[in-house]
Structure 1
C-alpha cells in the first residue's frame, strides 16, 4: 500500500471540507447507504459513525460497497485530469493532424505537465499517442487491400519510412509483411476505452488486446511462431462476433461472450484461465483466491504469471483479479482501464439483479 491512512477524525474532517489533498488516496464507505465516495463528493455528508475509510477502491468493492453516482469514484483516474480530457477531445476532433509540441502550446498547455500526466496514466506521451490514433486509418486501408502508400496518406504520415516505423513499433512487423490472405488475420476494434486488436482464424479468436499494450508486439510474434506463418489483415467471423459482443458489453447491455476462443497454454495456465472465466461479472478475486480454487494454494505467484500471460483481454477477465489487500494490482492495459472495467461490470451486475427482482 503506497499511502498510510491518517486517523478517522482527520479523514472525516477532510470529507466535511471536501479536501482534495486526499482525493484518490482515500475513500469513504457509508454503511447507512452501502455506497463509497471520494472525499470530495458533493453529496450530503454522512454521520461519522457511518463512515469507514479505505485507501483503495478495491478494498471498498471487496467490502461490498457500490460506487457513488455523484462523485463517480470508479471513473478512470485519467478522466479526472482536465488536461487529459481536453487533449483527448482535441485528438478526437482532429485525428488527421500531425500533432507537435507547438500545437499543444497553442492550446495553452504546459508541455512538461502534459507529458507527465499522459506518461503516468497511459505509459506514453500525448505526442506518442497521436500517431497511434492516425495509424488506425492506415491499418484499415491495408485491411481493405489498399497499397502501403495509400495507407500512409490515409494515416497522414509525412513519409513512408515514418509510417513503416510506427506500424512496426505497434505490431512488430512492417505493413508489407501483413497481407490480407493469412490464415490468421488481425482487425482493429474501436472501444470506449481505446482501440483493440483482434487476431482470429476462420473458427476461433486467438488474441484480443488493447493496441497500446507494450507487450503486444511480443504476443503477436509468439502467435506467428506458433502458427508458423505471418498474420494477415482483415476481419474473420470470430473477430466480427467479438466486436459485436464488446459493443454490447461496453454499453452495459450484456456480459455474455460466446465467441469461440483458441488457447495456447499448458494445463496449469489453462486451469487459471478457466477460473478467471468462472468469476461472476461484478465480482473480484485475489490471486490467492484463484490458487485455492484450483487446488494449488501455494502457487500464488504462478497464478499471477498465468494471469499476466492471458492474451484475450476482457473475455478472459484477468481484470477481475485484485491484490490480497484489495488494491488494484497491475494490468497490462493500464490501471485506469481496470477501474473502468470494474465499474462497467458492477453496472451490469446491478442491472441483472434489478431485472431478476
Structure 2
C-alpha cells in the first residue's frame, strides 16, 4: 500500500489525470468499491474516500473491484478499436488521401479519430496518414522515381502543395533528400506509459516517454543533427528495444544489448558511459560522477549532460540523485524515477 504521507501527492495526480503516474499507483474508492488508474475519466472522489495502492493486486486483495471505465487490469495504453481500425486501413492503402466520406464508410466519427490519434500518437489521424504517405514518397524518390511521378502517385495535383507538405513532415524539400537518411519512429507501450523510439535498422537514436516536456524539440534537434527524415514505422533496433523493455519491466533484464547511436559531445558521452556503469539497484550523485571523471568541480556540467540523455532507462540517468539523497530531477517525472529505482532494487535482490 502507498504510505499515507504520499496520499496528497497521489490525489493531486488523480485529479489532474497525470499520465506520469500511470502504473505507479491505483486508487481504491471506498464509496463505490472500485479501483481505478490515475488517469480514469470518471468523476473524482473526495480525498477522504480514497485509498492508494502500488499494484492492482493490492487493490484486489483489499476487496476493491476493477473500474469498468478505465479497466485497470488491462494494458494501461491499450489501443482503442477506432485507432486499431484506422491504422489497419492506412496499411491496406497507405497512399490514400482521406476524406470525410471515408470515415463514414468505416462508421468512424472523424472528430473521435482526431482526438484519439492525438492522444496516443501526438498527431491527428490526418497527420498520421499524411506522414505514412510521405514515407512512401521518400522511398520512391530514393529508388529513382521522379519527383513529379511521386507527387502524382501520392495524390497531390499541385507541385508546390506536395513540396510544402513533404517539407513539413520530412524536414527538407524532396529534391534535397538524395543524401539524407531515414529514421523511423514507433510508440512502445510500457508499464509506466507509452514511449517513443526512433532508430534505423542498425541503431536506436532516441527513447523517451511521450509526455516528456520538450520531446518535440528533442525530435526536431535529432532530425536536424542527423539530417534525417523521421517517419512512422519500425526497424530492427526498435523491435529489439521493445522486446528488451518488456523483459526489463518484468524484472528479467538489466543489461540492454540494443545498439545505440549516441549524439553528444565527448564530455556528454563520458558522463553517459559512467551512468551505464552504475549497477541496477544503486544510485550515484552528480558529484560522484564528476569525481569518477577526475573533474570533481564539474558536477553542474554532469547534471546538464545527464539531462541531455535521449535514451531513457537504457542510459540510466534515473540512477543519479542529489548528494543529500533527494531524487533530483528527471525528464520523465519524479514519480517514474522513484518507481524505476524501486523496481531495479527489487529485481536485483
TM superposition score normalised by structure 1: 0.59
Cα distance change, pair 221–132 in 1 and its aligned pair in 2 (3 A) = farther
How much is the aligned-residue C-alpha RMSD, in angstroms? Answer: 4.1
Change (3 A) 1:89 1:201: same
Q: 2:131 aligns with which of 170, 177, 196?
A: 177
Alignment of 1:310-329 (within 5 A): 310-329=309-328
C-alpha deviation, 1:245, in angstroms: 0.8
State the alpha-carbon separation in 1 of the partners of residues 107 and 245 from structure 2: 26
Partner of 2:210: 211
Matched-pair contact (CA < 8 Å) for 2:199–2:205: yes
Aligned partners of 2:39 and 2:286: how far apart in 1? 39
Q: Which residue of 1 aligns with 2:224?
A: 225
Q: Deviations over 1:295-354 (max 9, x none)?
A: 11111111111111111111000010111111111111111111111122112221xxxx
Q: Confirm whether residue 279 of structure 1 aligns to residue 278 of structure 2.
A: yes
Matches within 5 A, 1:246-285: 246-285=245-284
**Residues in 2 aligned to 1:306 and 1:143: alpha-carbon distance in whole angstroms:** 40
Pairing 1:1-357 to 2, within 5 Å after superposition: 22=5, 78-79=24-25, 81-82=27-28, 86-88=35-37, 104-105=42-43, 109-110=44-45, 137=84, 141=88, 144=91, 146=94, 149=98, 158=111, 162=115, 169=122, 174-175=127-128, 176-177=130-131, 179-181=134-136, 183-350=182-349
The CA distance in 1 between the partners of 2:205 and 2:335, in whole Å, is 25
Say whether the 8 Å CA contact 1:164–1:174 is kept in structure 2.
no
CA separation of 1:310/1:133 partners in 2, compared to 1, >3 Å: closer, same or farther? farther
CA drift at 1:174: 3.5
Contact 2:22/2:39 (CA < 8 Å) preserved in 1? no
**Structure 2 unaligned runs (5+)?**
9-20, 53-69, 71-75, 139-181
Q: 1:253 to 1:330 in 2, by over 3 A?
A: same
**4+ residue segments displaced more than 3 Å:** 20-25, 75-78, 80-83, 110-113, 130-157, 159-171, 177-182
CA contact (8 A) 1:213 1:332 kept: yes
| Residue equivalent to 1:68 | none
Q: In the alignment, what sits opposite 2:152? A: none
Alpha carbons 2:194, 2:210 under 8 Å: kept: yes
Deviation of 1:267 (Å): 0.6
Give the number of aligned pairs: 253
Change (3 A) 1:299 1:90: closer
Cα distance in 2 between the residues matched to 1:197 and 1:205? 11
Deviations 1:215-244 (CA, angstroms, capped at 9, x unpaired): 211111111112323311111000101011
In 2: Cα distance, 1:154 partner to 1:209 partner:
34
Distance 2:274 2:107 in 1: 43
Aligned-pair CA distance for 1:177: 3.3
CA spacing shift, 1:313–1:304, aligned 2, 3 Å: same
Residues of 2 paired with 1:77 and 1:270: CA distance? 31
Residues in 1 aligned to 2:120 and 2:26: alpha-carbon distance in whole angstroms: 30
Conserved 8 A contact 1:170-1:216: no
* Aligned-residue offset at 1:24: 7.3
Q: Determine the C-alpha separation between the residues in 2 that align with 1:151 and 1:303.
A: 51
Q: Which moved more, 1:232-241 or 1:157-166?
A: 157-166
Whole-angstrom CA distance in 2 between matches of 1:252 and 1:294: 30
